Structure 1
């Protein structure tokens, strides 16, 4: 994952990127998925239905320089509230703000519990419409989590998934809050996080052979937590169609990004944007009864790892 393009970073630092009067807004994430046309070019050679819609397509899914959304460009799925505590749509009141540690404990940590970041939850509710907007942002720290290899290995989050969605269309999007944020590349109505790797010779722009921008959903498609190829060989192995698939799951939503305090490719963006989903709710939940999944899907040589936390849902 590389840092945002210098121009966008400078504009943001100078305050030139401001909240626009007209923004793209949250986009519909239907239960039936999205129609994909066979382009015959890099990143999407096959047609079909995908659980995923594309958002900010700059940066080659984190392998190149992503560009911050503005009021006029790169703003699909993006919203521009006044600040992090303000809802992305009018008529909503903040009902919950919660900060929790992100902790990992598995064979890579040698059985120790290691805090590698923090998770911020926001929930806004519109009492007139009985709708809630759930927002989640995570921030990674400079912490060595993999005790099985020498050196400092910082955790990379390529996908964030949450459950609790209704069996109907929802809307979703993201708020790019600062120059330390990574954008959201795609959002899907699925439990499965599909790996996306870059072409080693053209990592700023091209997908590696066999990798899809919009993984397909069909009878027999993957229902795994992470789908792709874990091994990192040179040259890269080419995934099968099944390894680039994700079955639509109406209970879940998945956001693809690339957040790491210190990425293997030499640069880093330690914070996610705020990931939003809007859905019906009878009240603002005060107890985390759902599930969050934070997934490292090995864009480079890191292993596949999933961190599970309790999460908020209606």
Structure 2
């Protein structure tokens, strides 16, 4: 299934399996400027959606590292139509204060007038060259963590420590394939076989994560890392949208004692819960994917107590 630029999903294969579009604007920001895009305060602008799990990673990392005054940020409206993400006033989002764009597509087309891909968040705009630097979301948080170290707040966590990078990358890869992207592969599958394969892979990995987190507080190395942030943004949306909207309903997050406690542990930390907008999340998914929810009715639930004690302190 093909769609026009800005719509989602990008396509499914002949077997009905969801295929995620490759992110094509992939320049990097570097501390020494060797990429042509030096890490500088006030130069870059981050475009995000509060609904998008990929963008949510960047929002959390920016907050944890104290980069709010270094990298400015705009939030798009959660409702996306055939024109793509829009800038509108109200409810946690607002106009584009950098270029005056009405739609995020304008940033893409100013960067490349021949661009035909989807207009995705997160992406980073460069005020100097007047173009997008990247829309490749895995690079964005890594560059915040490793190339903007001169601008990190005092005491900021090292989310991508050198000694743990190989393990972080390994865990992040399996979490991406089977959890982060796994929910989309289930939700946008157009055949029973593709759907069941995605759901089975998803819940096998959630079961594995449940066992892993029963004995350790974090995914890697006894400390908060990039890997935890990448998992959290999917867990935060799991019961609210993925269980029902994407048919990921073998079990809920709240049915996993360790995973649910782990998610609450992170949610209750500065930089996590304050960046979660269940209003944006539910409105986006239920009101944007007409092929999955043609009535566009947004469910009221679920009721979840994210602030209840998690008991994870015992793990160190």
Answer whether TM exceeds 0.5 for this pair. Answer: no
Higher helix fraction (1 or 2): 2
Higher strand share: 1
The bucket for the TM-score relative to the shorter chain is under 0.3
TM-score by length of 1: 0.28
**More contact order relative to length (CA 8 Å, sep ≥ 6):** 1
